[in-house]
Structure 1
Amino acid sequence: MTKQVLLIEDDDALRASLAQTLDLEGIDVISTAHYVQARRTLRANFAGVVLTDIRMPDKDGFDILALAQSIDADLPVVMLTGEGDVPMAIRAMKEGAYDFLEKPCDTSHLIGVLSRALEHRELVLHTRRMEHRMRRSDPASVNFPGDSAASRDFRDALRRAADSGRHILLIGPDGAGKKLAAHTIFAMSEGRGAFVLVRTPEIDPASFKIETGAVDLSVKRMHLASRVQIDCVMDAVDQQPDARFIGSSENALPDVADHLNCVTVAVPDLAARRSDIDVIFEVLLRHAVRYANTEMPDIPPDTLAQIKARDWPGNLAELRAFANGFLAEQQRGGAVAQTLAEQMDGYERLVLENTLRSFDGKAAVVAEHLGLPRKTLYDRLARYGLRPRDFQ
């Protein structure tokens, strides 16, 4: 890292002298006499430290310290004063100053303090870069973002489940992201083979089996499956000891969990992650942008306010559909939706399209998945001009 110091001193002669001293030590100096210039220079990724006088006209050194703290609480600020003022020194340290020095300051002591501050800054920025790379390479952080306690605890639970090597049962409401959680666990697991997604309504007990020892198995909506189908899955897992079972259900399945000695992971709904809703929406929108191979649109403040204020009973599936609809409207150059009825129609169409796509256009399975009589499903599909065969 380039050694860099932002020097703020209103005395022109002293500022020039300090700048020359630091320059001789190989330190790049940005020198100014004004708070305004400091505000223009400081950023959260500023790769240096601040050296500021305390007593200055207008904005003083404590204003500089407050500015630095508001931008980055880990940004070292070394403060200088020409007066031996103990209370001022105590105040500076309490308010977060890295160090407090009295002018005139011995050159070797000044350089020593700044060198330690620069080392500290380099360590902080290096740690942040590493954490950023880890988050980008961590499927749990990528797929389930957010700083709420619910999001953090869920990510930790996914990591522990992946590391355990045991069979896993994901329990959570419809649309909360159980399928995504299963893929996340699979991506974080060692010795991965193929990922096979099996939905219990599609299981034929007469022919179902696991062909290879390197299979992760996700079973969808087990609570709707017959007892025969559930037993069929458990028997197949028993017969293939190298396979790893990742089941998902809205309801607890204690017999399955006990039989397979599963790690049970609760998948939180969006209500539990409500404070993360804007971050989650942006991630879902970025996914839609990549899928559509287009540019990321601006998100108007009123749209964010609407998202935060609205309940999302359909959880991630509903929010994802809203993000897709928002992007489609932005591409058409229109508003998100003019009326509640138009929003609901758009959401219903997206749910039908996504579900048909997920089940390869199998209308009977789609009807069961959505909890609709088959005739009602076909009526809804006809309303939007959707044909199951187009999704096969």
Structure 2
Amino acid sequence: MLNSVIVVDDEASIRAAVEQWLSLSGFKVQLFERAEECLAQLPAHFPGVILSDVRMPGMSGLQLLDRLQQADPDLPVILLTGHGDVPMAVEAMRNGAYDFLEKPFTPQHLMGSLRRALEKRQLVLENRRLHEQADLKAQLENTLLGMSQGLQQLRRQVLELASLPVNVLIRGETGSGKERVARCLHDFGPRADKPFVALNCAAIPETLFEAELFGHESGAFTGAQGKRIGKLEYANGGTVFLDEIESMPLAQQAKLLRVIQEQKLERLGANQSIAVDLRIIAATKPDLLEEARAGRFREDLAYRLNVAELRLAPLRERREDIPLLFEHFARTAAERLGRHAPAVSGGRLAQLLAHEWPGNVRELANAAERHALGLDSPNLESLPGGRSLSEQVEAFEAQCLRAALRQYNGEIKGVMEALQLPRRTLNEKMQRHGLVREDFLGGE
């Protein structure tokens, strides 16, 4: 239950009395003598109620109400009035005030009005939160594409972790989308308006690593002309994405660990520490703890980075996403080139589903772009050690079911007729492939 109340009144005795009553009843109280002060310090989406006198020097309570209504029409405002102000207060309620209390009022009357207003505020904020979550979910579905159970679970994990102030380790093969997931963790969290700095640890020469991360002062080493801000300092307030973290030199691992622990860094050639507020998202192909046991990575840093872990499944483990991703990449490439993407034939789709995709989504995107250009390779086949015929048939069946469900917006009767399947058989196949009709309601 919310319990925050802001009291705005120019009379010190009224403020003191109301604060005492409310504090004893468990309310969190903030006092202001003038309406202008309240407006200047009022946070967005204030989780409480405003209690304001009507007649005050400078901005009146009615003017404050008008300003608050413009900023947040659902914010409850209770007005405190003298006897002669009652008709004015009634008119103010028609204009959006939640309630008014005529002076002198009893603590019981005040508490009753406040609790009702706080209950209303709680419902409004909860409704907003649910709408925001739905909007974020829709945006994320358009960013991390796929209908497989693994992708749906990944999106849920990203939404949960995005708002949490914890470091995240992303594990996945080359081309599986680690940087895109890292970007989503940043963009869908509270640091979205701050810098997102991506570094590939394998691409930085060891001799330049420290200067690249921590920056340097003028003359710190031969060739260091002028002061340079390092990537970690530049990302202050935001997110640092360290790809292929397993390639980071051991000496720099120790310094990164210190930055994570102390939230401070020192430029090369400087003695002064600089405070930084960073979220670290690291990505790796191998298991960092196995790397630590082999002496190639610091175990303490591995634990610091792996507060939460996300595993990205390779494309061969979520083949049902291949047609959707291929279509998306082909359409995007065709639009960029100002042309229409050719249709995907059944034979071509079978090839796509049978291929092992060692380069994962990156390789698929390249194949889709070639398709948009009309440059399809006729020899796209499953690599040695590929799937059995039954596995390929299963993947193709799942795609056919998904396409029909999407076409008929989850309407079972239409799917049954299109695929010529009895309801019981359709239900069994949907259950086996993890398909739920609710996921397709209102779809394209």
Normalised by the size of structure 1, how large is the TM-score? 0.47
Normalised by the size of structure 2, how large is the TM-score? 0.42
